[in-house]
Amino acid sequence: MEPKLLTADRFVDTETGCSYRYVYSDTEYFRPHYHDYYEIFLLLDGEAVHCVGNERLPLQRGALVFIRPNDTHDYLLREGKKFSMLNITLSRETVEDLFSYLGDGFDSIRLTQAKLPPEVQLPDASFSYILAQMTTIRAIDTSDKKRLKTALRILIFRIFTRFFADFSEAGEPEMPLWLSQLCATMRKDGNFTYGTERMLSLTNKSREHVSRSFKKYLGVTPSEFINDLRLNFIASMLKNSNHDIADIVFESGFGNLSWAAEQFRKKYGMTMSKYRKCT
């Protein structure tokens, strides 16, 4: 069957730059198609087969997929099982503006140029988060386009930054979800200042397993990862505060001023005092 082109003028609200729709397999007719817009879909329940070109990709509840313009795809029932999904359509402008805003630190090229549509499997907490946000969005008056636009764009921003930021293609060494979440948690709420013991308290993995995983996927030890975050913190405070250097060092979690100074000089090629003057 010849793929059908679906166009933004029919499937994306022009005022908000995005739309959403809940789709049930038993009341929907699927056929091969492609878009001139972007799409994100989340499998809400059941199982499905996502057909992309010659690939047949099994999906289960919690699968989150990013479809790019010109990705030709279709859905099949898996062993006759029904499924439902949340479908969010996005204009090119909406996605391109988001990627531009996030800047080069967000690897949008990895997402837009991947061989297959980027897919991540959400854990229960993340799955529930999206459902809760959509419940809030569905309570917004559909005629209130400004508020609806803002709410949808906040959700889209969070989907990309929380769930697709660490996407890797099949064949690449994919960081386990627990590890990427652990790294993200250590970066926030000052957790890095408390060191490896705080890190271990945030996961059910053994010390040895955590250490092996950091070396395998990040090329550093847990201590090196934490110390790098501490050094980033020191550099930021040197640049953006007038606090005493010793106070900054101890606030970062380093317990030894001389050791911290040595590590800072290795990373930045100068002393903390000189760094403060240069920036």
Domains and CATH numbers, the chain: 4-164 (2.60.120.280), 177-278 (1.10.10.60)
Provide the H-helix boundaries in 139-221: 145-158, 177-187, 195-201, 207-217
Q: What pLDDT is attached to residue 37?
A: 97
Answer whether 38's CB lies under 8 Å from 66's CB.
Answer: yes
Q: What is the enclosing helix (H) or strand (E) of 39?
A: strand 38-52
**Which regions of the chain are under pLDDT 70?**
168-174
Q: What pLDDT is attached to residue 92?
A: 96
Q: What pLDDT is attached to residue 169?
A: 61
C-alpha count within 13 angstroms, C-beta hemisphere, residue 161 = 13
Supply 254's token pair.
């380093």
Q: What pLDDT is attached to residue 171?
A: 47
The tens digit of pLDDT for each residue in 46-81 reads: 999 999 988 999 999 999 999 999 899 999 887 778
The tens digit of pLDDT for each residue in 205-245 reads: 999 999 999 998 889 999 999 999 999 999 999 999 999 99
Q: Which residues contact 185 (CB under 8 A, 6 or more apart)?
A: 191, 202
Alpha carbons 63 and 158: distance in angstroms, whole number: 16
First to last CA, the chain: 61
Residue 152's identity, in one-letter code, is L
Alpha carbons 72 and 250: distance in angstroms, whole number: 55
Residue 191's identity, in one-letter code, is N
Q: What pLDDT is attached to residue 173?
A: 56
Prediction pTM value: 0.70
Supply 87's token pair.
């479908």
